[in-house]
Amino acid sequence: MRFDRAERLKRLPPYLFAEIDRKKDEMKKKGVDIIDLGVGDPDQPTPDHIVAALKKAAEDPANQKYPSYSGMDAFNAAVARWYKARFNVDLDEKTEVITLIGSKEGIAHMPLACINPGDRALVPSPAYPVYKIGVEFAGGEPFVMDLTAKNGFLPDLDAIPGDVADRSPLMFLNYPNNPTAAVADEAFFARVVEFANEHNVLVCHDAAYTEMTYDGYRPISFLSVPGAKEVGVEFHSLSKTYNMTGWRLGFAVGNAEAIAALGQVKSNIDSGAFDAVQVAGIAALEGDQGVVEDMKALYQQRRDMLVEGLAALGFDVEKPKATFYVWMPVPGGDSRAFATKLLEEAGIVVTPGVGFGEPGEGYVRFALTVGEARLKEAIDRMGDIAF
């Protein structure tokens, strides 16, 4: 038998982080001590009370059966309570909340629920690669909304041709933003609602980083803007907020018809998140939120150390208000060359901005997911390189 991959796979570029891992492994085999500031995977453990809840729930035979594809009623109710407490957004837990096996799963599946082959979809760039890939897997054609420093890394909605918008059932947004760390305000979200109503677009807002903020900044939910729930859904994850990346637990909330459509896709593809993990998720959402504040303080210390260190080396870099990323313009504007130089000459992994889309060229992304001692060492190593 000669196996031939489907055309949709042949068209894909190498997955960004898989390519980074390959290059990193090459250097490790050469004996290089790698400082990995590339992939955004928290280095701190999941809080003890969440782990304890999982252990207890996993031993209960009732949780060892097939789960509901849409999530436990108790978990969805906890999500609704959390949204009300955090954002003052009212949600019907039965029709406006669905549990996800990590928000990535829901983001990738949402285009299958609303895009027909040949449709356009409005996708930001630079951005998390799954937005574009999900659209393409559903047979849609992404229309790239460039995110540039000139516009605060917000899409210019007025630059989207009307005929393209009218053919686009879906728009992806993400604030606080990965990779740029940009934030959006209520005025921008209000304009998005107006645009969505004008062109009949479902807004899919990835809000994974709303709880990772600094200097007193607190982002709003897209759904807190008047009219947003009528035109949009919001994806959230417990991965970064509670150091639960490997647990694969998230949720989507918002427009009931869109949530039901996503549920229809999921019921035909997966069998839902493990109930014991959802019980632990309830412990996360309703337990001591001091663990979140502690993580924010830790990342803020790291942010300050890295940004101040880079600035002392002569780089033009700003302190982000949110996320655990630092987005920095690079000398010469070639992000791959800069990242390769750091890896080969200093053993430091960063993510080239172009890997998030062509508009990301000229930048690299640092992740604040190593301790302060390693961050200091990374800065010292960079100081020995001629840029």
Of the candidates 78, 4, 30, the one whose C-alpha atom is nearest the C-alpha of residue 343 is 30
CA quadruple 240, 147, 129, 259: dihedral sign: positive
Q: Locate 333 and state its tokens.
A: 């504007």
All domains of the chain in start order, with CATH: 7-45+290-383 (3.90.1150.10), 48-286 (3.40.640.10)
Q: Locate 256 and state its tokens.
A: 């009931």
pLDDT digits (tens, 9 = 90+) for 356-381: 999 999 999 999 999 999 999 999 99
pLDDT score of 307 more than 90: yes
pLDDT digits (tens, 9 = 90+) for 187-208: 999 999 999 999 999 999 999 9
pLDDT digits (tens, 9 = 90+) for 252-304: 999 999 999 999 999 999 999 999 999 999 999 999 999 999 999 999 999 99
Burial, 177: exposed, middle or buried (Cβ in 10 Å; 0-12, 13-18, 19+)?
buried
- In the 8-state DSSP scheme, what is residue 64? S
Q: Locate 294 and state its tokens.
A: 């502690």
Percent of the chain with pLDDT over 70: 99
Average pLDDT over residues 7-21: 78
Contacts of 381 (CB under 8 A, 6+ apart): 35, 346, 347, 348
pLDDT score of 22 more than 90: no
Residue 69: per-residue pLDDT: 87
Q: Locate 126 and state its tokens.
A: 């630079």
Radius of gyration of the chain from Cα atoms?
A: 21
Residue 16: per-residue pLDDT: 66
Q: Phi/psi of residue 310, each to 5°? A: -65, -40
Contacts of 181 (CB under 8 A, 6+ apart): 320, 321, 322, 323, 325, 326, 327
**Whole-angstrom Cα distance, residue 205 to residue 258?**
13
pLDDT band of 9, cuts 50, 70, 90: confident
pLDDT digits (tens, 9 = 90+) for 203-236: 999 999 999 999 999 999 999 999 999 999 999 9
Between the CA atoms of 339, 343, 347 and 353, what dihedral angle is there, to the nearest 10 degrees? Answer: 30
Based on DSSP, count helices (H) and strands (E) in the chain, helices before strands.
Answer: 14, 12
For the chain, the farthest-separated pair of C-alpha atoms sits apart, in whole angstroms, at 61
Residue 223: per-residue pLDDT: 98
Average pLDDT score, the chain: 95
Between the CA atoms of 48, 54, 55 and 57, what dihedral angle is there, to the nearest 10 degrees? Answer: 140
Letter for the amino acid at 149? Answer: A
pLDDT digits (tens, 9 = 90+) for 105-119: 999 999 999 999 999
**Whole-angstrom Cα distance, residue 92 to residue 88?**
13
Give the residue carrying structure tokens 């960004």: 16
User: Helix 275-286 vs helix 48-58: angle between axes, to the nearest 10 degrees?
Assistant: 150
